[in-house]
Amino acid sequence: MTAATPPSSVDMSVDLAGVRLPNPMMTASGCAANGREMHRFIDVAQLGAFVTKSVKAQPVSGRGTPRMAETPSGMLNSIGLQGPGVQAFVEEDLAWLHSIGARVVVSIAGSTASEFAGVARAVVRSRYASAVAAIEVNISCPNVANRGLVFACDPASSHKVMTLVREEVPRGLPMLAKLSPDVTDIVEIADTVLKAGAHGLTMINTTLGVAIDVDRLRPHLIAATGGLSGPAIRPIAVRAVWQVAGAMRAGRIRTAPIVGAGGVRTGRDALELVAAGASAIQVGTAAFNDPTAPERVGRELEALIAERGFTRLSEVTGIAHERFTP
């Protein structure tokens, strides 16, 4: 294993709403299971934080197969939030992440606002809660049978979820809202969840897509629709971060850390999101064919920042706004 952040003249540390991370690199929820598989290739404790699969209150078997399909510059998935349920997650996965000293962002999900709150309660009251660096509230998963349950598509629903979860999360533990690009105005949703108590934002989740098998003339996925991820969605992620960061800089919404996610494969990809306004980066789909990607991208990002003469990551965060003249 290699360290994610070798000694450097660049300060890559991140202030995630009061929690200091040594570097900005994270996994993206659902793309590295709960750590053990990736730990064979890199020391996940060296990442800024490891983001778990979204965990629900009860075990979920997920969608039937096929539930993944390759697309140009990306992939579609319709896993359906498969998982063991929060109690098994705490006793097996969170316990293991705690044992290796990882900083953990626990992604939580639910079919109701109350379920979200219950999952958060079980995590933060567990004996392994000291490993938890933040709670990421996945209000934007596109792979639910009832599209009405994509809470992030509705301001009132997203506000209710964040309000109930906030009541369970202790002071000092950041609560991140993971937003969907599949909305008319992502700034409005960002404003709503921040007003409801979110301490930061993760942007973006996958965007809804369909792939047709032209030999059988039917959808590839058993669920027909799936979440599109990979390089194809990076410009959408950069756009979302740009719009929300711009609204923060203009004083139209409250300022909060943004975690950029969507199609990051290289340090240059990560630098795009940072310059647009992200202060931390998640790597997802790239890890399927390169499980060292979260660590490698961090090294590449650090080198690019140093090459441009900066000494701190924070100096580059949002810099594209300062250098843009409409």
Query: What residue numbers does the annotated binding site cover?
Result: 29, 53-54, 77-81, 138, 178, 204-206, 230, 262-263, 284-285
Size of the chain, expressed as the number of residues it contains: 326
Helix (H) and strand (E) counts in the chain: 11, 16
Closest listed residue to residue 230, CA positions, set 209, 216, 244: 209
* Annotated binding-site members for FMN: 29, 53-54, 138, 178, 204, 230, 262-263, 284-285
Active site residues: 141
| 3-class secondary structure, 60 | strand
Closest listed residue to residue 253, CA positions, set 177, 325, 316: 177
**What is the gyration radius of the CA atoms in the chain, in angstroms?**
18
Cα 61 to Cα 53: distance, rounded to the nearest angstrom: 13
Torsion angle of C-alpha atoms 315, 16, 141, 67, degrees rounded to 10: 80
| 3-class secondary structure, 192 | helix
* Annotated binding-site members for substrate: 53, 77-81, 138, 205-206
Q: What is the distance of C-alpha 82 from the center of its chain?
A: 17
Cα 12 to Cα 7: distance, rounded to the nearest angstrom: 10
Q: What is the distance of C-alpha 73 from the center of its chain?
A: 20
State which H helix or E strand residue 136 sits in: strand 132-138
Q: What is the distance of C-alpha 28 from the center of its chain?
A: 5
| 3-class secondary structure, 108 | strand
